[in-house]
Structures are given as C-alpha cells and as structure tokens.
Amino acid sequence: MTLQELTRPWTAFNYGFLDESAKREIRRRMLKAIAIPGYQVPYASREVPIARGWGTGGLQVTLTLLKPDTVVKVIDQGSDDSVNASSIRKFVSRVGGAAETSDTSEATIIQSRHRIPEEKLREDQVLVLQVPNPEPLRPVEPDMSVAREMHGDADYGQLWLILYEQLVKSGRIMQGSSYPSMVNGRHVMTPSPIPRWDVPKLNQAEHLTILSAGREKRIFAVPPYTSVEPLVFDDVPYRVEDHQDKTCYRSNVSGFFMNELPQEDGSSRYELSDSHFGIKHIQRAEGGSVEIAETYYNNGRME
C-alpha cells in the first residue's frame, strides 16, 4: 500500500473552513444563547487548525459569522501583533477572504482573548471572546451536573461566600479577572478572563458579545443593551484597577488600562494594553490624521 492510496485527492476547503452542518449547529446555539442571556449552551466543538486552549471556541464562532465583506480584528491581551492573534487573523483571511485590520473602528468582527478594546463598539460590530473556563461555579462545585442544577435554581450563594471570604481576609475583593457577573438579572456568567476594568463595558453595550469555550464546548452571549452587573455587596462598591495616574511611556496617554513593565533598576514603566489605541495616539501626536472613536473610560473613570 502506498501513501497515495491512503490519501484522498486534494479538494478546496469549504468557505470559512467549517462544513455547513457545523456552521448551522453553531448558529442555532448562538441564537439560543442570545435568547437566554448568560445561559451556557452546549455545542459540538469542531477541530480547527489550532490546539485546544488557544482560542478554538472563538475561532469557530468567527468562522461561522464570516462573510466576504467581513473585516476582522484579532487581539491577544490587547495586542494585535502577538503570534496567536496574527496567526488567527491570517487564517480567517485565507479561508474566508476577510479583510484584516488592527483598527477597532474598522472591524466588523473583533475576536479577543483577555481584553475588550478601549474604543466603544457599535451596533454593527460583534465581539467574540475566547473563554478557557465558562463555568463560574466550578471553584465551588466541581460536579457539573450539580452546577447545572444550581444555575437552574439561581443558587449563587457560594459565589457570594467566596467574595465575602476575600473581603474578610484581605480587606477587599481580590478577584482580578473572570469576575462573576449577573446577566439580565438571571444567570451568573464568568465574562472570560477579562480584567475587572473591562466588565462594565459589557453593561448595556450597543454591540453583541458572543463568548465561546471550544475545549469545554459551551457558548453564551450578552445581547445588545443587556444588563451585566458584577456581584457586589451593597456597602462595598465594585472597583476597577486604579490606572488613572498611570501614563504610557510610548504614547504619553493616561487614564486607560496599562501593562506594567518592570525595569532592571526595580522601577516600572507602563504601556497601553490596547496596542493599536496607543499607536493611534502616537500617530496623532506626530501630526497624522487619525480618527479615535469615543472611549468607555475618560481619565480612568467610566462615563
């Protein structure tokens, strides 16, 4: 037996890589997720040419939503230039003919890992968030069948207990990312591993947000103009990271989410996490004609 006999003749990939039955199934699951905000809908996660845990869920949603006129932006922890972001963006462009962009304002689909852009998204844009662990109850209930029952009963008392224990032990809530949030007053979700800074951006947002976990085979959604409220006690208000006094050393912009860069002398420099947002400011400072959209935050405060 020869290698040629073991292989099939070459045929072109289906548009958007995924076969049509896979796309139909994912579309149906997304519609159900939109109809029940925050509810985790199971789906048959397909194999794609990246490893599980590197954005397979987000990629499947992006490929399903893909159209010939799509303009796609992919970011990894705020950066458009990481290996993972660049590879996914080029793959989507190759299998669907989508235009690539780094500009948030130009994109129609924004696939992201760990961040939501600083510029406000519009009604005609879709945010796709990659989710490694979609279950907010997993830290308190490892049995997923029991966790499903707890969601059905809206029994989230143990999540409140975790937040209370953090408050008692540390004097403040220590949950830095994946902050549990109530969606539409009914289901608690974990909003991807985005920082606390980004969670308020989902509340009453103009855009549709699809969250997909390929490894866990779950999709959930936040439709436009939907309430997303972080779990907080009445006397302990929700606090985002205090970056109001931090200034980006490259763009000289302050009041936005920063990456801390430790230096050899023990000091730190700060750089805008949203990389292209910083590039826009640098281009404007150099006299370029750059349009910067309205932002969620101004001077470190949500408007």
User: Nearest Cα to 131, choosing from 206, 190, 197, 69?
Assistant: 190
Are 16 and 98 spatial neighbours (Cβ–Cβ below 8 Å)? no
Q: Which fold has domain 20-138+163-230?
A: Rossmann fold (3.40.50)
Phi, psi of 119 (to 5 degrees): -80, 140
- Boundaries of CATH 3.40.50.11310 in the chain? 20-138+163-230
pLDDT, one tens digit for every residue, the chain (303 residues): 677 777 777 667 789 999 999 999 999 999 999 999 999 999 999 999 999 989 999 999 999 999 999 999 999 999 999 999 999 999 999 999 999 999 999 999 999 999 999 999 999 999 999 999 999 999 999 999 999 999 999 999 999 999 999 999 999 998 989 999 999 999 999 999 999 999 999 999 999 999 999 999 999 999 999 999 999 999 999 999 999 889 999 999 999 999 999 999 999 999 999 999 999 999 999 998 999 999 999 988 886
CA contacts within 13 A on the Cβ side of 280: 17
Instruction: Tell me whether residue 15 is exposed, middle or buried, using C-beta atoms within 10 angstroms of its C-beta: 0 to 12, 13 to 18, 19 or more.
Output: middle
From residue 118, how far is each of 8, 85, 163, 225, 300 by CA, in Å?
47, 17, 27, 18, 11
